């Protein structure tokens, strides 16, 4: 008696295919969430258009959009990699989704990889949309694209680590409140819309160490002023990335 042949063959799919499928699922879930779209697309777009068209904040010499566009790009990265990911992962943890996925053939590290790739896909869509709008508003960027790419990757790593740390240690409701509060505070005091020079000198030195400040100022140095590579801001982001991802890996609780 010969053994039967089963089609499809039972067993787990290859790991790259599982990661790709989970990434696609995570991206679809994120784009279908109304609150996530508000944070990742609508708010950055409205801020860019409003503050570029109406002279509300003194952004210094030159067109307002040249100052605002790099800061809004930094805000977009923060909204997706930190705020959106923290809230979504926090509630997945609360409802037991992470626990069940952790027991599936998909390794836990692969699940986090898929979440990170989903963040990167969403950021690409955000940056494309915001760049088109900024160009329509008269934006004229300068500088090295590779430096911009490096800053965005470091910023994504920094915010992802902090978002996962928050989602993996706090209750879902606390994560929701804290993530939104941090988003609002950094929007105001992170050099996104209001230049850091508008704050007192003692406060500037502290605000300049925040990841969103480092990212927005670094992007502004490159895209507005044509700097080759703002190493100070890149170093700040690298430190936040190492600390955030390291703490998330150590303290993240799946239940």
Which of 210, 162, 186, 225 lies closest to 44 in space, CA to CA? 186
In this structure, the number of other CB atoms found within 10 A of the CB of residue 237 comes to 26
Q: What pLDDT, in 10s, does the model give residues 2-23? A: 555 656 666 666 778 888 888 8
Chain centroid, CA 18 distance in Å = 23
**Do 251 and 93 meet the contact criterion of CB atoms below 8 Å apart?**
no
Phi, psi of 229 (to 5 degrees): -160, 115
Q: Is the pLDDT of residue 185 over 60?
A: yes
**Do 193 and 47 meet the contact criterion of CB atoms below 8 Å apart?**
yes
pTM beyond 0.75: yes
Report the length, in residues, of the chain.
255
Please report the DSSP string for the chain in residue order.
Answer: -PPP--SSPPSPPPHHHHHHHHHHHHHHHHHH-HHHHIIIIIHHHHHHHHHHHS--S---SS-HHHHHHHHHHHHHHHIIIIIIHHHHHHHHHHTTHHHHHHTSSS-HHHHHHHHHHHHHHHHHHHHHHHHHHHHHTT----S-HHHHHHHHHHHHHHHHHHHHHHHHHS-HHHHHHHHHHHHHHHHHHSSSSS-GGGS-HHHHHHHTTSHHHHHHHHHHHHHTT--S--HHHHHHHHHHHHHHHHHHHHH----
Q: What pLDDT, in 10s, does the model give residues 199-252? A: 888 888 899 999 999 999 999 999 988 888 899 999 999 999 999 989 988 888
Q: What pLDDT, in 10s, does the model give residues 112-166? A: 788 888 888 889 989 999 999 999 999 989 889 999 999 999 999 999 999 999 9
User: Tell me, what's the pLDDT at 162?
Assistant: 94
């Amino acid at each position: 008696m010969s053994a039967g042949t089963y089609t499809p063959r039972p067993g787990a799919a290859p790991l790259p295919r599982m990661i790709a499928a989970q990434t696609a699922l995570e991206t679809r879930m994120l784009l279908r969430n109304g609150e996530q779209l508000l944070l990742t697309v609508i708010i950055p777009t409205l801020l860019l258009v409003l503050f570029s068209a109406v002279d509300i904040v003194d952004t210094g010499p030159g067109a307002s959009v040249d100052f605002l566009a790099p800061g809004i790009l930094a805000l977009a990265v923060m909204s997706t990699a930190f705020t959106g990911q923290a809230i979504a992962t926090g509630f997945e943890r609360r409802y037991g989704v992470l626990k069940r996925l952790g027991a599936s053939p998909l390794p836990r590290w692969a699940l986090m990889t898929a979440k990170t790739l989903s963040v990167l896909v969403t950021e690409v869509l955000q940056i494309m949309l915001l760049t088109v709008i900024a160009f329509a508003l008269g934006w004229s960027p300068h500088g090295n694209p590779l430096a911009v790419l490096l800053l965005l990757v470091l910023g994504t790593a920094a915010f992802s680590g902090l978002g996962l740390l928050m989602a993996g240690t706090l209750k879902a409701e606390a994560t929701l409140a804290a993530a939104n509060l941090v988003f609002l505070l950094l929007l105001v005091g992170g050099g996104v819309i209001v230049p850091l020079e508008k704050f007192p000198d003692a406060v500037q030195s502290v605000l300049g160490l925040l990841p969103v400040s480092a990212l927005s100022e670094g992007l502004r140095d490159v895209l507005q002023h044509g700097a080759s590579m703002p190493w100070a801001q890149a170093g700040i982001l690298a430190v936040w990335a190492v600390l955030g991802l390291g703490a998330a890996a150590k303290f993240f609780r799946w239940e």
